[in-house]
Amino acid sequence: MPVLHNRVNNEELKQRMLAETEPRTTVSFYQYFPVAEPEAFRNNLYLKFVDLKVFGRIYVAAEGINGQVSVPESNYEAFRDTLYQSDPMLNGIRMNIALDDDGKSFWVLRMKVRAKIVADGIDDPTFNMAKKGKYLKADEYNKLSEEKDTIIVDMRNHYEYEVGHFENAIEVPSDTFRDQLPMAADMLKGKEDKNIIMYCTGGIRCEKASAYMLHNGFKNVFHVEGGIIEYARKAKEQNLPLKFKGKNFVFDERLGERITDDVLAECHVCGKPCDTHTNCKNDGCHLLFIECEECAERLEGCCSEACVEEKNMPEEEQRKHRAGRENGMMIFNKSKEHPLRKHRSEWKVMREG
């Protein structure tokens, strides 16, 4: 039986990818459609994509498919056609090609079957994804967003919103998408007749959110077709004013695509204008945070003095130091109550004092 998962050391795979000379294309895609046998569908695609040297993450569920991958340029059309031909509902699926990309985002293919392609917490059997909001192309978004009765809702997490968002967009301050859905409906209660525009990175969350809002009595619901990625691409192609400012956070090695030169965020350590995400270099932390070059040099890529100290301990002592600690929980900190805000305040006092 063919091998249906990777068996090579992760670091070796990364080095192989970095040694490649052919450019790669990074692309994201999704489609809500009924998948009768997710496991069989996944296995069939996995074997074909391995042959095409596709790297990345793909999730398959009974409700559809969601993927972010990189493909050698010479294999891109074969990859796209393979996806198109895997199911009639995928023929012509929109492919969001990355704008700010060196093709070095992924180095292994991981395909998993999940209960849903987006965890939503919805258990209402009458909820129907087919009844979703209206797509808005870039020019349509620009026009509708300027109307007086339009409300723009960001359906991403705080660390994404923090570095870039559409002008006048409101944030739904929840740590998970499943909590955001009822919170968004509650926040907009009494505005059921307004124009509601929802958006996210590539379209998958805001499409489901638009269906949820319609399910909860909102009448004029829209969502940005292809999310921020497609909006930015089309707006630049058509020389439209860019309503999205700053960076678009992406879930690969880049941690962000620059859309405009606006820097909306600040270093979580010292407060200087900055929108560069990084993961703490301490193996016992790996917190995702924003750090300027000055602080990165001073703290050796770590988020705090404590992490610098732990990172520089002998390896055996590091292991003892973090024994029993729940690692990985803060890799993507989704809350406004970021643990570094306290560190930042202390550093400001120290710097100014």
Give per-residue pLDDT as tens, 178-221. 899 999 999 999 999 999 999 998 888 999 999 999 999 999 99
Per-residue pLDDT at 353:
43
Rounded Cα distance between 16 and 3, Å, is: 20
Would you please indicate which residues are annotated as catalytic (active-site) residues?
200
* Phi, psi dihedral angles at 165 (to 5 degrees): -165, 165
pLDDT digits (tens, 9 = 90+) for 27-86: 889 999 999 999 999 999 999 999 999 999 999 999 999 999 999 999 999 999 999 999
Q: What Cα–Cα distance (Å) separates residue 152 from each residue in 165, 176, 191, 221, 223?
A: 10, 19, 12, 10, 9
Per-residue pLDDT at 108:
87
Per-residue pLDDT at 9:
60
Rounded Cα distance between 296 and 280, Å, is: 10
Q: Which domains does the chain have, with CATH numbers?
A: 10-113 (3.30.70.100), 134-237 (3.40.250.10), 277-352 (no CATH)
> Rounded mean pLDDT of the chain?
86
Per-residue pLDDT at 322:
74
Below-50 pLDDT ranges, the chain: 1, 327-332, 334-335, 341-353
Residue 202's DSSP bridge partners are: none
Residue 58's DSSP bridge partners are: 67, 111
Q: Under a CB-based contact definition with an 8 Å cutoff, are residues 226 and 202 in contact?
A: yes
Which residues touch 281 (CB under 8 Å, ≥6 apart)? 300, 301, 302, 307, 311
Instruction: Report pTM.
Output: 0.77
Which residues touch 1 (CB under 8 Å, ≥6 apart)? none
Per-residue pLDDT at 1:
45
What is the identity of the amino acid at 344?
R
Per-residue pLDDT at 210:
96
Per-residue pLDDT at 263:
96
Q: Under a CB-based contact definition with an 8 Å cutoff, are residues 280 and 331 in contact?
A: no
